[in-house]
Chain A
Amino acid sequence: MNYFIEQTINGITLGGLYALVALGYTMVYGILMLINFAHSEMFMLGGYIGLLSLKVLSDPSLAEDVGLGFLEPAQAFFNSGTIGFILMLVVTFLVSGALVGVVGMITERFAYRPLRKAPRLAPLISAIGISIFLQNAVLLWVSSKQLPYSRADGTSFVPVKTAFTFMGVEVSTMQVLIIVTSITLLLALDTFIARTRVGRAMRATAQDRDAAGLMGVDVNRVIMLAFFIGPALGAVAGIFNGMYYGSVKYNMGFIPGVKSFTAAVIGGIGNLRGAMLGGFLLGIIESLASGFISHAYRDVIAFIVLIVVLVVRPGGLLGESVTEKV
């Protein structure tokens, strides 16, 4: 029983990461009908920028070297304990979320916007091109090696490893952090889309871009916004991924990217709540498959679930039950 609970918690944590990334895929798809293959690189960039930010924020001598010596009083606080650590994490999220969000907007502006009139496959190929470009840029200009996600002295960023023990199951701090943060962010985004004016504009654009435009929605700004929020959430997932699993590498985005896209499709692509549901479901399925069937075949099982879901419900779990629209 403990074993089952433990695997489920593993799964929920993984699912939280998938859900954060899946949102980026589903938002872009909902508005542009584009599989943004480069989204997995936003996750990767987030991991790298987050590592840099955490290092600078936690290490006074490094901050001095990059000309941020004035951070020293804050650093003392960041390194002082749980609250300091959480604050440091929040600052890191803001910094890398903003930077990666801007990268996302740049890719939209230069790689996708000129192609809105082009055939469907053109932006897809462009996205693959961006993905290859970003991976190789990191490989060439940052490092081709796998980098450890740790402080300058080689210890991990998280001060306490175990958060609490629940029914004899130890739950780690990282798991609590990931689950709580991802659910909070998902709820916040859901509220934002459902309640605010901008959110309504976004829904309108997703439903019918031309009509939304005619009704006075600035479609380009809405699309830019989607390309900011998605990558920013992806960056948060990338940082968590680094801290949770312990490293970053230039090609780290690919596998989580494919899985998150799968999650978005299982939930019904274009549907935000579907992406969240799909993310958590896929995480749990994978974790249980690995724990009870075979670790080697967990991806196979995940993809079989995908095929079964699509054959039974072609629109995904929460998707509109569309047949081919013409």
Chain B
Amino acid sequence: MARSTRLVLAVALALALALLAIGCGSNDGGTTTTAAGTSTESVEVVIGIGAPLTDGAVALGQGMVRGANLAVKEANESQELIDLGITLSTVEGDDKGDPTTGGNVAEQFASNQNLVAVMGHLNSGVTRVAVKVYAQNDILQVSPANTAVDLTIPRSNANYFRVCANDGVQGPAAADYASKAGFKTAYVVDDSTPYGEGLADAWAAQFEANGGTVLGREKTADKDTDFKALVTTIKAQNPELVYYGGIYNAGALLSKQLKEGGVAVPMMAGDGVFDPEYIKLAGAANAEGDLCTSVGLPTDQMPKGQDFIASYDAMYPGEAMAAYDAYSYDAAKVIITAIVQVAKDMGADKLTTPEGKKAIIAATQGISFESVTGTVSFDENGDTNNKAITVYKVVGGAWTPEKM
């Protein structure tokens, strides 16, 4: 008898533990339902921010969080949302730039009942895994930074949009600039990440199509710091330009070691190096004359740019803007605009229901508004129609827009 009593006790204990965990969950769901049901309080709607925050391109990831949070804060202060009875909040998911971690983060977002959309991710590899989870759960994903072409072409996920131009736009535009600027020969290096590889391939193809010669193509790793032997190789090839597909961390060191190793030609790269950290790391003297492309037009030259910079500085005094802050701001605004539209159509309390989530995705396709990075609207693949590319050059220790 004692034996069976103990067995029952043990099973009961285990079940109690399991239920305790669930208890937390349903409690949470419970409060939300009451809030929505009575509609005297505002409906809480959550936007996930997926970015690398402790590993990978941390500076860019933290910038994404800042940009998105600024948009959400402004929206929460706006009369429109107050009238609709919506309170937005954000939750950060650290994907570390790693696909498997990204998949976990995506599941965590999907488990949050109040979460309707995700602003992220930075890395295309992470999105490849995460977007499938969002698709299964009718969650909208708007990326400020993914550039891999095949995420949208051909379109495989209706819930995926991006506000930046892809490698198929950025790489060739950069190559065209290089050809126009008179560079005839180049050495192409990438960092063995999907981003760097895709960009460098696209750049090299267009550069050769323009009649330029690619003297060599090498792969490095994104965590590399030693490029001395590679610099000697490049020096022997004597190119007029070095193109680097990759992020600022390693890119800055490559530029520095190139200049110190006697390769006195500019290095060109994509938006992954468009960050003040790049110049700091390479040393202003070494970085001088380096080129990069970034999507859209320079923030401070945009009609809404000055306002954005002013409110950014007010919210984050002393923080330098990274490459994707403005894009993250706009990506968050896309999400907010879609939420507002659906709230008006269906009522705020429907936002977090499955139908509401589907409606938010559907609404995103038709969005069009003027913002910091220009006109934000999407083509049939979910790519931005804003395909402007700006070339920047390091002049006097700062990224300065070049005339195309």
Q: Which residue of A lies closest to B230 (CB)?
A: A295
Instruction: List the B side residues contacting A290 at CB < 8 Å.
Output: 229-230, 233
- A300 → chain B closest CB, angstroms: 12
Contact string against A for B residues 249-262, beta-carbon threshold 8 Å, 1 for contact and 0 otherwise: 10011001100111
Contact string against B for A residues 268-295, beta-carbon threshold 8 Å, 1 for contact and 0 otherwise: 0000000000000000001100110011
Bound: A145/B319 CA distance, A: 14
Instruction: List the A side residues contacting B262 at CB < 8 Å.
Output: 170
Bound: A6/B234 CA distance, A: 12
- Contacting A295 at CB < 8 Å: which of B229, B261, B284, B397? B229
Bound: A246/B249 CA distance, A: 11
Query: Do A146 and B226 touch across chains, with their CB atoms under 8 A apart?
Result: no
Query: Do B218 and A298 touch across chains, with their CB atoms under 8 A apart?
Result: no
- A163 → chain B closest CB, angstroms: 13
Contact A154 to B232, CB < 8 A, known contacts A139-B54, A255-B223: no
> A40 interface residue, CB < 8 Å from B?
no
Interface residues of A in 69-118 (CB under 8 A from B): none
Bound: A13/B281 CA distance, A: 22
- B122 → chain A closest CB, angstroms: 15
> B73 interface residue, CB < 8 Å from A?
no
> A144 interface residue, CB < 8 Å from B?
yes
> A20 interface residue, CB < 8 Å from B?
no
> A28 interface residue, CB < 8 Å from B?
no
> A296 interface residue, CB < 8 Å from B?
yes
Instruction: List the A side residues contacting B219 at CB < 8 Å.
Output: 295-296
A-B contact pairs, 30 of them (CB 8 A): A6-B232, A7-B232, A13-B228, A139-B54, A144-B58, A145-B58, A145-B277, A146-B281, A148-B280, A154-B280, A154-B283, A172-B260, A172-B261, A241-B225, A244-B228, A245-B225, A245-B253, A246-B282, A247-B252, A247-B253, A251-B223, A255-B224, A286-B229, A287-B229, A291-B229, A291-B232, A295-B218, A295-B229, A296-B192, A296-B219
Instruction: List the B side residues contacting A50 at CB < 8 Å.
Output: none
Q: 10 shortest A-B CB distances, which residue pairs? A: A290-B229, A296-B219, A287-B229, A245-B225, A295-B218, A246-B256, A10-B228, A148-B281, A6-B232, A295-B230
Interface residues of A in 140-181 (CB under 8 A from B): 144-146, 148, 150, 154-156, 161, 170, 172
- A6 → chain B closest CB, angstroms: 5
> A11 interface residue, CB < 8 Å from B?
yes
Interface residues of A in 212-232 (CB under 8 A from B): none
Interface residues of B in 367-404 (CB under 8 A from A): 397
Sample of 8 further A-B pairs with CB below 8 A, known A245-B228, A246-B283, A251-B223: A154-B284, A245-B226, A246-B225, A246-B253, A246-B282, A247-B253, A286-B229, A295-B218
Bound: A253/B71 CA distance, A: 39
Contact string against A for B residues 132-147, beta-carbon threshold 8 Å, 1 for contact and 0 otherwise: 0000000000000000
Contact A291 to B281, CB < 8 A, known contacts A161-B260, A245-B225, A255-B223: no
Query: Do A144 and B277 touch across chains, with their CB atoms under 8 A apart?
Result: no
Interface residues of B in 268-325 (CB under 8 A from A): 277, 280-285
Query: Do B218 and A14 touch across chains, with their CB atoms under 8 A apart?
Result: no
Interface residues of A in 10-25 (CB under 8 A from B): 10-11, 13-14
- A323 → chain B closest CB, angstroms: 36
Query: Do B283 and A150 touch across chains, with their CB atoms under 8 A apart?
Result: yes
Please report B residues at the A interface, Cβ cutoff 8 Å.
Answer: 54, 58-59, 192, 218-220, 223-230, 232-233, 235-236, 249, 252-253, 256-257, 260-262, 277, 280-285, 397
Residue among A11, A156, A245 having the largest count of chain B Cβ atoms under 10 Å: A245
Bound: A296/B220 CA distance, A: 6
Contact A3 to B229, CB < 8 A, known contacts A146-B249, A255-B223: no
Bound: A172/B262 CA distance, A: 10
Query: Do A10 and B229 touch across chains, with their CB atoms under 8 A apart?
Result: yes
Instruction: List the B side residues contacting A38 at CB < 8 Å.
Output: none
Contact A14 to B228, CB < 8 A, known contacts A145-B58, A245-B253, A296-B192: yes
Please report A residues at the B interface, Cβ cutoff 8 Å.
Answer: 3, 6-7, 10-11, 13-14, 139, 144-146, 148, 150, 154-156, 161, 170, 172, 241, 244-247, 249, 251-252, 255, 286-287, 290-291, 294-296, 298
- A249 → chain B closest CB, angstroms: 8
Instruction: List the A side residues contacting B229 at CB < 8 Å.
Output: 7, 10-11, 14, 286-287, 290-291, 295, 298
Bound: A247/B233 CA distance, A: 22
Instruction: List the A side residues contacting B225 at CB < 8 Å.
Output: 241, 245-247, 249, 252
Q: Which residue of B lies closest to A13 (CB)?
A: B228
Query: Do B233 and A246 touch across chains, with their CB atoms under 8 A apart?
Result: no
Instruction: List the A side residues contacting B54 at CB < 8 Å.
Output: 139, 144
Q: Which residue of B lies closest to A145 (CB)?
A: B59
Query: Do B280 and A295 touch across chains, with their CB atoms under 8 A apart?
Result: no
- B280 → chain A closest CB, angstroms: 6
Instruction: List the A side residues contacting B261 at CB < 8 Å.
Output: 172
Bound: A245/B220 CA distance, A: 15
Bound: A14/B229 CA distance, A: 10
- B242 → chain A closest CB, angstroms: 13
Bound: A294/B230 CA distance, A: 9
Instruction: List the A side residues contacting B256 at CB < 8 Å.
Output: 246
Instruction: List the B side residues contacting A291 at CB < 8 Å.
Output: 229, 232-233
Instruction: List the A side residues contacting B281 at CB < 8 Å.
Output: 146, 148, 246-247
Instruction: List the B side residues contacting A286 at CB < 8 Å.
Output: 229
Bound: A241/B227 CA distance, A: 12
- A273 → chain B closest CB, angstroms: 25
- B60 → chain A closest CB, angstroms: 11
Instruction: List the A side residues contacting B280 at CB < 8 Å.
Output: 148, 154
Q: Which residue of A lies closest to B260 (CB)?
A: A161
Bound: A249/B55 CA distance, A: 11
Instruction: List the A side residues contacting B220 at CB < 8 Å.
Output: 295-296
- A41 → chain B closest CB, angstroms: 16
- B24 → chain A closest CB, angstroms: 28
Bound: A11/B226 CA distance, A: 11
Instruction: List the A side residues contacting B227 at CB < 8 Å.
Output: 245
Query: Do B283 and A155 touch across chains, with their CB atoms under 8 A apart?
Result: yes
Bound: A249/B58 CA distance, A: 12
- A192 → chain B closest CB, angstroms: 30
Q: Which residue of B lies closest to A296 (CB)?
A: B219
Query: Do A14 and B232 touch across chains, with their CB atoms under 8 A apart?
Result: no
- B143 → chain A closest CB, angstroms: 23
